[in-house]
């Protein structure tokens, strides 16, 4: 997978059960990469809508996360790219120390972040602690996850704490094509 700069892209994902849809845009400028999406769906039988934006540096290290639910609940946090987080008032968030990537429950885009940030050869496994953003609360918490590159464009994603795993197919840019049971590219 080429880890050089990407051109601007727009993709759409729908949920496997056809109850959700995401419109996603990826933008790059001289020093940042920004993924932005609008998502409608259902979680635990409860419908939701949200708009999010994740900004990274050119090494795909998360620097800013903004999420707003249609209900008005929002999250705006910053990372130094080294695993230290602050809220939008500048207050440290020590519970997230060591989390380099964010995982927003509503989107497959955030799986791209560790895939692009890490240079993994086939058969290599990475143990990560993610800054997980659950819905609808948006109350970030650490979440242990594991990524194993099993083929050129295939990764095994595991979340041992939630007893969940899925084999992710990605395109040449690391964007998810198929996330069995949850998302698929339209």
Classify residue 151: in a domain, yes or no.
Answer: yes
Classify residue 135: in a domain, yes or no.
Answer: yes
- Verdict on whether the full-model pTM lies above 0.85: yes
Classify residue 76: in a domain, yes or no.
Answer: yes
Closest CA to 174 of 117, 106, 100, 104: 117
Classify residue 109: in a domain, yes or no.
Answer: yes
- Provide the domain count of the chain: 1
Classify residue 178: in a domain, yes or no.
Answer: yes
- At residue 3, the pLDDT reads 45
- At residue 30, the pLDDT reads 86
- At residue 46, the pLDDT reads 87
- At residue 114, the pLDDT reads 96
Strands 85-87 and 46-56: unpaired
- At residue 15, the pLDDT reads 92
Regions of the chain where pLDDT drops below 50: 1-3
Classify residue 2: in a domain, yes or no.
Answer: no
- At residue 7, the pLDDT reads 65
Classify residue 4: in a domain, yes or no.
Answer: no
- At residue 2, the pLDDT reads 47
- At residue 97, the pLDDT reads 97
Closest CA to 26 of 116, 89, 96: 116
Domain boundaries, position 154: 9-185
- At residue 4, the pLDDT reads 53
- At residue 1, the pLDDT reads 45
What is the separation of C-alpha 102 from the centre of its chain, rounded to a whole number of angstroms?
A: 6
């Amino acid at each position: 997978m080429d880890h050089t700069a990407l051109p601007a892209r727009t993709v759409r994902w729908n949920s496997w059960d056809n109850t959700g849809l995401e419109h996603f845009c990826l933008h790059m400028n001289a020093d940042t990469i920004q993924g932005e999406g609008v998502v409608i769906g259902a979680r635990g039988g409860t419908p939701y809508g949200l708009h999010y934006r994740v900004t990274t540096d050119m090494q795909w290290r998360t620097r800013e996360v903004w999420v707003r639910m249609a209900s008005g609940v929002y999250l705006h946090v910053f990372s130094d790219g080294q695993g230290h987080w602050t809220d939008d008032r500048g207050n440290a968030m020590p519970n997230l120390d060591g989390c380099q990537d964010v995982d927003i429950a509503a989107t497959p885009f955030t799986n791209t972040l560790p895939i692009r940030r890490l240079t993994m050869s086939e058969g290599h496994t990475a143990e990560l602690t993610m800054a997980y953003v659950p819905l609808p609360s948006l109350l970030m918490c650490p979440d242990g996850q594991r990524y194993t590159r099993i083929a050129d464009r295939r990764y095994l994603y595991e979340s041992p704490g939630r007893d969940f795993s899925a084999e992710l197919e990605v395109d040449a840019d690391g964007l998810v094509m198929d996330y069995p049971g949850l998302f698929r590219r339209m």
